[in-house]
Amino acid sequence: MPSKVGPTNLVWAMALAAAFVLAGWKTFIRPPLSGFVPPSTPVRPANAPWQAAPAGGASASVPRQLSPDGRFEFDARFVSSEPGQAVHAASLAELRNGDLRAVWFSGSREGAGDVAIKTAVLKPENLHWSEEQTLLDRARLQRDLWRYVKKIGNPVITRLPDGSLMLWMVNVSLGGWAGSSLSWTRSTDDGVTWSALRRLVTSPFLNLSTLAKGAPFFYQNGQIGLPVYHEFISKFAEILRLSPEGQIVDKSRIPASQTSLQPVALVQDALRAQLYMRSGRSTAIMASETTDAGQTWSATRATSLPNPDSALAGAVTAAGDQWLAFNPNPKDRQTLALVKAGRGGSFEGVAPWLVESAASADTRLSVSSYERLLSDELVAQGASQAQVRADVDSAMRQLCGAATCSQEFSYPFLLQSQDGYLHLVYTWHRSRIKHVRLNPSPSFQPDAGLPAPRRAASAAH
């Protein structure tokens, strides 16, 4: 005999149906169109005037480096200062006074219970990074969110149009990264203090598997565009549209983006933008475009830029130039490069500029050569012998086998500051966060009249 449907079951069924109807209504009833904030109007507080990059380049007290391919110069410093840690996934925001604040995660290993979000501040006038501090840890998350937190992942920081800072971070309560969610916090004093953390609810059911890596962008009505991705059951890329208060207004899944993760948005003007993503199926960077301010996106396609399924970064300068930072070897992360789009904003056929590279991209170093390589650069940057030993040991635990080691320069993040410089931060051998500053002038050539810079340490071995 058929079973009877009790009143309790009927109530649950009606509630579930209502939830699906509501979710469908929110999907098809899109919010009114609002254009992107174009790159010609940088998002910054009104009391922070734009300053051109100094013609003389960096301070004479800061040693400059020549890129491995000899094509441009840059200033380089380590951001993280605590030795012996596994560090990853740095991002940047500019403060009201022109300083830069970096955030990243750090611990004994990725996914460990002791991983915390760290931060440090750069003084641009002397390129000095402050000692790193703990910004958030598991205990703080559990206290603010009233839930168990198993591990902490990627942090993404940005400065909003009102001058405040917003920080999103990946955290997991159960399972692996596929079971992650996003939480966020805000600071109105340039990161000295932060509000209580809040969960970003991206799904009405379970709220699982939303991660972030790419820099946010903005709409003309004050809303925030946050590129995110999912790894639970099906992998795909998505754009969240958030209110200035941090709540979800809308979201758009990128068509045909299966296995494409960690989208990076490059806004051209009020209506046009491109997304670039890593891919688990292809050895190339994937792309999607919009011509209606993100109301619709084109089907994901492969570009001609090679990539080993590794994170990339992007930025559009105030002059409208589009930049990407990525690993250009389809096999590994032993090379990190910059590429500037050609006419029409296309990266097709444009040769990359090397930031760091192994002497041979496909060759692993012997353990002794690897140890010497890292030690030389750490000493050149002022590390003590104890710091050198701790950092080298950390890198070797993560990147070395019994006889050989693989170099790694990965997870870049790009930002143009108010003084015109382009800033790149990335993971250096899994043991330090490294910062590179360069002048993105049209010639992209070494400044005349400066002493000959030394080559980047990684290219000398």
In this predicted structure, the answer to whether residue 315 has a pLDDT above a threshold of 80 is: yes
355, 337 contact by CB (below 8 A): yes
In this predicted structure, the answer to whether residue 228 has a pLDDT above a threshold of 60 is: yes
pLDDT of 256 reads: 93
- For the ranges 169-183, 185-199, 284-298, which has the lowest average pLDDT? 169-183
Residue 234's pLDDT band, with cuts at 50, 70 and 90, is confident
pLDDT of 347 reads: 92
- Listed ranges 37-46, 336-345, 395-404; the one with the highest mean pLDDT: 395-404
The DSSP element (H or E) to which 386 belongs, if any, is helix 385-399
* Phi then psi dihedrals of residue 118, to 5 deg: -105, 160
The domain spans of the chain are 63-459
Specify the length of the chain in residues. Answer: 461
Contacts of 434 (CB under 8 A, 6+ apart): 76, 77, 78, 79, 409, 425, 426, 427, 428
Mean pLDDT of the chain: 86
pLDDT of 7 reads: 57
Tell me which residue of 230, 339, 330, 318 sits closest to 283, measured CA to CA. 330
**In terms of C-beta density within 10 A (0-12 exposed, 13-18 middle, 19 or more buried), how is residue 455 classed?**
middle
- For the ranges 192-201, 215-224, 269-278, 351-360, which has the lowest average pLDDT? 351-360
pLDDT of 176 reads: 82
114-170, pLDDT tens digit by residue? 999 999 999 999 999 999 999 999 999 999 999 999 999 999 999 999 999 999 999
189-206, pLDDT tens digit by residue? 999 999 999 999 887 666
> Is this structure's pTM higher than 0.75?
yes
DSSP β-bridge partners for residue 289 = 274
Which residue did the predictor score with more confidence, 359 or 408? 408
Whole-angstrom Cα distance, residue 29 to residue 147? 33
DSSP letter for each residue of 306-350: E-SS---EEEE-TT--EEEEE---SS-SSEEEEEE--GGG--TTP
Pairing of β 64-66 and β 248-253: unpaired
The DSSP element (H or E) to which 276 belongs, if any, is strand 273-279
Residue 443's pLDDT band, with cuts at 50, 70 and 90, is very low
Whole-angstrom Cα distance, residue 98 to residue 268? 24
* Phi then psi dihedrals of residue 289, to 5 deg: -130, 155
Whole-angstrom Cα distance, residue 148 to residue 12? 27
360-374, pLDDT tens digit by residue? 767 899 999 999 999
Contacts of 315 (CB under 8 A, 6+ apart): 215, 266, 322, 323, 414, 415, 416, 422
End-to-end CA distance of the chain: 79
416-431, pLDDT tens digit by residue? 999 889 999 999 999 9
* The residue type at 116: A
Which residue did the predictor score with more confidence, 291 or 175? 291
In this predicted structure, the answer to whether residue 11 has a pLDDT above a threshold of 60 is: no
CATH number for the domain running over 63-459? 2.120.10.10
- For the ranges 44-48, 260-264, 346-350, which has the lowest average pLDDT? 44-48
In this predicted structure, the answer to whether residue 18 has a pLDDT above a threshold of 80 is: no
Which residue did the predictor score with more confidence, 86 or 32? 86
Q: Count Cβ neighbours within 10 Å for each residue of 351-374 and write b for 16 or more, e otherwise.
A: ebbbbbbbeebeebbeeeebbebb
Which residue did the predictor score with more confidence, 56 or 118? 118
Pairing of β 404-405 and β 409-416: unpaired
3-state secondary structure of 385: helix
DSSP letter for each residue of 7-40: HHHHHHHHHHHHHHHHHHHHHHSPPPP--B--TT
In this predicted structure, the answer to whether residue 303 has a pLDDT above a threshold of 90 is: yes
Q: Report the sign of the C-alpha dihedral through residues 316, 433, 260, 325, in that order.
A: positive
Task: Work out the average pLDDT over 40-46.
Answer: 46
Residue 53's pLDDT band, with cuts at 50, 70 and 90, is very low
pLDDT of 131 reads: 97
- Locus of tokens 């990946």: 170
- Listed ranges 17-21, 346-350, 387-391; the one with the highest mean pLDDT: 387-391
In this predicted structure, the answer to whether residue 460 has a pLDDT above a threshold of 50 is: no
Whole-angstrom Cα distance, residue 57 to residue 68? 19
- Locus of tokens 């993105």: 440
